[in-house]
C-alpha cells in the first residue's frame, strides 16, 4: 500500500466577512498521485491550494508525513509542499535574482541538489532549474531579464522550473501551470512533470494540479477531485470534466 504524503481532515476556509468558501474537505495525497482538482470558477480551488501550502488561514487539520506543518516549521513545510501560483508578474528583479534569494533561505538548504560550497556569501546556485527550463525551450539569457519583460509563457515556465529544479518539493501544488502556453509546449511540460513523479529523481512524489483544460486533466491525472461548498468528491476519469 502506498504511503499517504498529505492527509487533509475537515478543512474549511472562509472569506474575510466570515461566510465559508468551502468546508468539510477530506482527502489524502499518496505517492505517485497526480490529483486533478476541479470545480466551477470561484468554487475555491486556488484557495484550497493556498490552504494546503499554509498560505491561507483555515479550519481543520493538515498532516504531512503524519505531522503538522508547524512541527516542521512553516518555511520548511512550504518548500516540501510547494505552491506555484499562476502569475509571477509582481515579482521584482530577474529570475536569477529570485533563485539567488530563495537559495539563501535556510529552508532551501540541506537538500541533495544544492552544492554546499559558497563563494563569499553567495550560495552556489543549482543548475537544475536552468536545465529543466532549457528542456522547455527557455534560453539562458532569459534568466537575467526582468520578470515584467518576460512573456506570460516564459515567466510561467521559469517559475515552474524553479519549483521543480530546486528539488525540495515532495508535493507540488500547481495552479493552472500551463495556462499561458501553446498546446505543444504545454504537452512538453506535462510529460516532464509526469515523468518526474514516476521517476522520483528530483524527489517529487505527487502533484495537485488545477486545470481548466479537460483534455489535459485526462492526459496527466491519476485521480480527480471536485470541490463543492460541502467538501470534495472523488470522481472517475470518465465522469471528470
Ligand atoms: N482574500 C479574499 N477576500 C474575499 N474573497 C476571496 C478572497 N480570496 C478568495 N475569495 C473568494 O473565494 C472564492 C474562491 O476563490 P478561488 O480563487 O479559490 O476560486 P477558484 O475555484 O480557484 O476560481 P477560478 O477557477 O476562477 O480560478 C471566490 O468567490 C473568491 O472571490
Q: What's the pLDDT at 101?
A: 86
- The rounded Å distance from CA 47 to ligand 1 centre is 6
- The rounded Å distance from CA 224 to ligand 1 centre is 20
Question: Atom 7 of ligand 1 has which residue's CA nearest to it?
Answer: 15
39 Cα nearest atom in ligand 1? 21
43 Cα nearest atom in ligand 1? 21
d(CA 231, CA 40) in angstroms, rounded, equals: 13
User: How confident is the prediction along the chain (241 residues), in pLDDT tens digits per residue?
Assistant: 566 999 999 999 999 888 999 999 999 999 999 999 999 999 999 999 999 999 999 999 999 999 999 999 999 999 999 999 987 767 789 999 998 888 877 666 655 444 444 444 444 557 899 999 999 999 999 999 999 899 999 999 999 999 999 999 999 999 999 999 999 999 999 999 999 999 877 889 999 999 988 899 999 999 999 999 999 999 987 665 5
Q: Which residues line ligand 1 (CB under 6 A)?
A: 15-16, 21, 39, 41-47
- The rounded Å distance from CA 12 to ligand 1 centre is 13
Q: Which residue among 21, 174, 210, 232 is best mutated to probe the pocket of ligand 1, counting the most ligand atoms within 8 A of its Cβ?
A: 21
Q: Which residue among 46, 52, 209 is best mutated to probe the pocket of ligand 1, counting the most ligand atoms within 8 A of its Cβ?
A: 46
- The rounded Å distance from CA 48 to ligand 1 centre is 10
- Residue 142: name the closest of 126, 128, 157, 164 by CA: 157
- Reduced to 3 states (helix: H, G, I; strand: E, B; else coil), residue 161 is helix
ipTM exceeds 0.90: yes
Question: Atom 28 of ligand 1 has which residue's CA nearest to it?
Answer: 42
User: Could you tell me the residue ranges of all domains in the chain?
Assistant: 4-235
Q: What's the pLDDT at 122?
A: 45
Which one-letter DSSP state was computed for residue 67? B
Provide the grid cell at 115: 552544492
Which one-letter DSSP state was computed for residue 124? P
Q: What's the pLDDT at 111?
A: 53
44 Cα nearest atom in ligand 1? 18
* Cα dihedral 215/220/223/224 (nearest 10): -30
Residues 77, 109 contacting (CB under 8 angstroms)? no
* Cα dihedral 44/29/86/10 (nearest 10): 20
- The rounded Å distance from CA 172 to ligand 1 centre is 20
Q: What's the pLDDT at 112?
A: 44
- The rounded Å distance from CA 46 to ligand 1 centre is 7
- Residue 110: name the closest of 59, 181, 168, 68 by CA: 168
Residues 224, 236 contacting (CB under 8 angstroms)? yes
> Which contiguous run of DSSP H or E holds residue 199?
helix 183-199
CATH architecture for segment(s) 4-235: 3-Layer(aba) Sandwich (3.40)
Amino acid at each position: 500500500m502506498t504511503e499517504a504524503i498529505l492527509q487533509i481532515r475537515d478543512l474549511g476556509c472562509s472569506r474575510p466577512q466570515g461566510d465559508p468558501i468551502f468546508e468539510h474537505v477530506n482527502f489524502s495525497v499518496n505517492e505517485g498521485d497526480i490529483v486533478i482538482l476541479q470545480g466551477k470558477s470561484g468554487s475555491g480551488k486556488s484557495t484550497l491550494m493556498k490552504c494546503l501550502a499554509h498560505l491561507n488561514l483555515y479550519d481543520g487539520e493538515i498532516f504531512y508525513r503524519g505531522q503538522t506543518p508547524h512541527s516542521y516549521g512553516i518555511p520548511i513545510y512550504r518548500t516540501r509542499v510547494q505552491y506555484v501560483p499562476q502569475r509571477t508578474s509582481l515579482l521584482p528583479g530577474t529570475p536569477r535574482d529570485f533563485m539567488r534569494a530563495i537559495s539563501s533561505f535556510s529552508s532551501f538548504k540541506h537538500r541533495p541538489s544544492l552544492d554546499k560550497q559558497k563563494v563569499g556569501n553567495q550560495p552556489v546556485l543549482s543548475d537544475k532549474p536552468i536545465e529543466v527550463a532549457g528542456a522547455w525551450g527557455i534560453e539562458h539569457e532569459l534568466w537575467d531579464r526582468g520578470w515584467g519583460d518576460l512573456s506570460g509563457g516564459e515567466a510561467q515556465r521559469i517559475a515552474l522550473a524553479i519549483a521543480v529544479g530546486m528539488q525540495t518539493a515532495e508535493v507540488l501544488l500547481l495552479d493552472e501551470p500551463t495556462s499561458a502556453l501553446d498546446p505543444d509546449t504545454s504537452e512538453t511540460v506535462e510529460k516532464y512533470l509526469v515523468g518526474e513523479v514516476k521517476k522520483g529523481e528530483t524527489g517529487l512524489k505527487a502533484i495537485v494540479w488545477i486545470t481548466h483544460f479537460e483534455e489535459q486533466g485526462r492526459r496527466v491525472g491519476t485521480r480527480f477531485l471536485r470541490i463543492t461548498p460541502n467538501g470534495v468528491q472523488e470522481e472517475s476519469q470518465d465522469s471528470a470534466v
